[in-house]
Structure 1
Amino acid sequence: MTPDVLLPLLGQATLETVLMVLPAALIAQLLGTALGVALTLTRPGGLKPNRALHRLLDALVNVGRSLPFIILLVLLIPFTRLVTGTSIGPAAATVPLTVAAIPFVARLVDGALRDVPSGVAEAARALGTTTAQIVGKVLLPEARPALLHSFTVLLVSVIGFSAMAGAVGGGGLGDLAIRYGYQRFETGVMLATVAVLLLLVQGVQWLGDRAARRADHR
């Protein structure tokens, strides 16, 4: 395939990948953070311990993380059609990408919040601070560097998931690699898509590490 044909295809596929990854990552970060906070609060010794609820949430997160993404793609086809009106294309791929990422975020956020020294939250509670205030003004700010790092890990993972979405018509770089690089034996296309994916991952990792370092005032 000549460069004048390949470059527009790469540009379109990269745009589709970005349009899949960013909304999925942002929505998953929002919902996963809420779930991670709930896990931290309800665990034994937490600010709002609730053994039954914690076990339920923990089980849901474990189940969500254990499902292979390609299987989740197929399982969610009816829900994806309900939400987007279609089961193919970048918009449709955003749905399973988001669902797959939520438990992943929840576990990362739970770990980040548990690393905050317990004395910080206890000191705030001794001053009469509400649980919501402790979460919003103490735990999350104290865990900001770890949360930024976890968001970086999330973006990298969702980029990888988006490539797999191409196997079922999700569009993006994965779809380009399968349709041209694999099915039409265009080795150059395959190598080009891999190179773009590597650049995306390296760029995200560099920006995320830089942001986490700047947020860490220790």
Structure 2
Amino acid sequence: MFPQPDAETLARNPQFALLWKDLTTNRITREGVSKSLALDKETVKVREILKSKRFEQAKREVLKDAVRAVAFGEGEGGLVGELRETAQIVSAQLDGKVDAQDEDIVQVEVEEFMSNIETVRVAVETHMEQNVMLLCQILDPTQQQPDPSTLPAQVQALRTEVEEAKWQLDVKRIELASTLTQLLKTNAQLLQTAIRILEQVMHGSVGRHTREDGGWAGL
């Protein structure tokens, strides 16, 4: 994110304000990336590849979590009996928790797992459907009947709100820093004023006593 300078700083530095306006309007995106770079074909291509890789990785993680849930979890949709134990071993392998020396034993369980893949698929599908419905209710508690088709739009809207909130938070941090700086300046001025008043009182008191002593001496 590219934080917004506080208004006081811009007002005190008009040349910087012009530079800032040019940068943020014509040259740099809100995220602090050069606009020319952001529109560069190669850059866009690399970003699309990274996005695709992240998406594939996310799908694998979701699937691994689902297998783990139906293998170890309780409730509707979970696996039972020997297939449950087999799925637990496969899930452990997917999580990298199986020793290399046990690979032969695990391979037998993997084959058993694959031979019952349809049963596993149904269990995983049921688990994921439950999660989708729960997510719908979390995103919109007012829905009488959760509608999974609304999820993409809701998630995108939520992401936009989060990005805007992050931006606003950065702006508020700058404003807070400016306010604290001004508060420190005001506090310093207050202390200086208090010291001057004390000095004046002390000097006035000393002068008054000096004059009084001189008056008594004249008598």
TM-score of the superposition, structure 2-length normalised?
0.28
Bigger CA radius of gyration: 2
TM-score when normalising by structure 1: 0.28
